[in-house]
């Protein structure tokens, strides 16, 4: 399968036995829209049946990143226009692609070079071989817009060491290559200057032959992870039962980063924080990625259909860009005690998996 549209938002081509997918919206840091998701899914469907394709390689055009996330502005427009069906259709297609990547019978190698956030994690985080570089910046920043991590993000966060998952999910803080490998979001660090050589090696298939063995020829040891070094105060604070108690513990810690983290949390949506805490913790007990995606799908539609903070967060960050969201409620103390259970108990009108 070779792409007849060289300027398409996803470039699809075969390089020998390597099926090569390139997200091609560099001015938007390759942010995903529904057409891109459908194009990726169609290519994977075709290549699964193509005996000439043995490996799939996914990367992003430009030098800024693999993928900055999903089309959040489009989500805003759908919610404001009162089109929840369109919202559900987008997330069903995206989550089906996330699961497809995780379950694909041929190895998928993803180059998470540069910014890889939100929906980009859904593409990179579930692949068979996940590569980061010295330029990588990974995050699940959904709480910054009054939302909650999705695209299987809670599955990854729930399996991070200690309470790193709660920390990353609630704060939306970024990971460099060392952090991403430590937290379980990536497998190998390959210098950005070696990516072209890695691509050539995958195409020519010089011995050794498996993608992982080939990647190891270019792999470098990541430096120390700041997340690993911060485990004492992160594990202590983020083991608390509630967001309010997490903030209280952070304020009591002597580390300057702990106090700075408390300040971050105090600026974010109380609803988004409380629901995210509940979602990450429940994801630890779920049996597989599909179950986590199902949980996230319900949460996404709960936010989209009943919670003003999502629209307000997108407005403040991306529409008016005043960076001054007015959360409802504005204080953690004003949340119902069972807000997490309410959100997790929401049943979408259309199921994710048919």
Helices (H), 63-145: 72-80, 84-103, 119-124
Spatial distance between the Cα atoms of 267 and 327, rounded to a whole number of angstroms: 9
Single out the catalytic residue among 142, 166, 176, 312. 142
Contacts of residue 220, Cβ cutoff 8 Å, sequence gap at least 6 = 189, 190, 191
108-112 and 129-132 beta bridge pairing: parallel
Cα separations in angstroms, 258 against 71, 145, 233, 294, 321: 32, 22, 7, 33, 28
- Residue 165 falls in the annotated catalytic set: no
Single out the catalytic residue among 19, 88, 114, 119. 119
Encoding tokens for residue 58?
């996914």
- Residue 179 falls in the annotated catalytic set: no
- What SS3 state is found at 176? coil
Using a 10 angstrom Cβ sphere, with 0-12 exposed, 13-18 middle and 19 or more buried, the burial of residue 221 is exposed
- Residue 119 falls in the annotated catalytic set: yes
Say if residues 19 and 10 touch (Cβ distance below 8 Å): no
- Residue 169 falls in the annotated catalytic set: no
Cα separations in angstroms, 127 against 33, 103, 110, 290: 20, 9, 7, 14
Contacts of residue 80, Cβ cutoff 8 Å, sequence gap at least 6 = 311
Sheet holding 137-139, edge to edge: 65-67, 115-117, 137-139
What is the helix (H) or strand (E) element at residue 146, kind and residue range? Answer: none
Query: Which of 251, 250, 223 minimizes the C-alpha distance to 235?
Result: 250
Encoding tokens for residue 237?
């604070």
- What SS3 state is found at 21? strand
- What SS3 state is found at 296? helix
Say if residues 76 and 314 touch (Cβ distance below 8 Å): yes
Single out the catalytic residue among 94, 150, 176, 187. 150
Residues annotated as catalytic are: 70, 119, 142, 150
């Amino acid at each position: 399968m070779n792409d007849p549209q060289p300027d398409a938002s996803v470039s699809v081509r075969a390089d020998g036995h390597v099926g090569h997918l390139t997200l091609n919206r560099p001015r938007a840091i390759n942010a995903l829209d529904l057409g891109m998701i459908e194009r990726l899914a169609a290519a994977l469907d075709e290549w699964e049946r193509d005996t000439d394709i043995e490996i799939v390689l996914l990367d992003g055009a430009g030098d800024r990143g693999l993928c900055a996330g999903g089309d959040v502005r489009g989500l805003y427009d759908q919610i404001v226009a009162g089109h929840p069906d369109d919202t559900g259709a987008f997330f069903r297609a995206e989550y089906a692609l996330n699961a497809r990547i995780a379950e694909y019978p041929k190895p998928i190698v993803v180059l998470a070079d540069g910014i890889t956030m939100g929906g980009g994690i859904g593409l990179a985080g579930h692949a068979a071989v996940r590569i980061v570089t010295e330029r990588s910046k990974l995050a699940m920043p959904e709480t910054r817009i009054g939302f909650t991590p999705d695209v299987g993000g809670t599955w990854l966060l729930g399996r991070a060491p200690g309470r790193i998952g709660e920390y990353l999910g609630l704060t939306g803080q970024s990971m460099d290559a060392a952090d991403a490998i430590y937290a379980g979001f990536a497998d190998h660090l390959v210098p950005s200057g070696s990516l072209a050589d890695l691509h050539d090696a995958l195409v020519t298939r010089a011995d050794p032959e498996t993608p992982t063995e080939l990647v190891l020829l270019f792999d470098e040891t990541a430096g120390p992870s700041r997340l690993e070094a911060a485990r004492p105060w992160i594990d202590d604070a983020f083991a608390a039962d509630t967001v309010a108690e997490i903030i209280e513990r952070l304020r009591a810690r002597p580390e300057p980063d702990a106090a700075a983290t408390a300040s971050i949390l105090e600026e974010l949506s109380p609803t988004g924080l409380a629901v995210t805490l509940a979602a990450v913790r429940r994801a630890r007990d779920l049996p597989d990625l599909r179950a986590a995606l199902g949980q996230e799908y319900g949460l996404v539609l709960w936010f989209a259909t009943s919670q003003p903070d999502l629209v307000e967060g997108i407005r403040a960050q991306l529409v008016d860009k005043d960076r001054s969201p007015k959360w409802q409620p504005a204080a953690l103390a004003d949340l119902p005690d069972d807000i997490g259970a309410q959100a997790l108990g929401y049943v979408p009108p259309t199921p994710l998996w048919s």
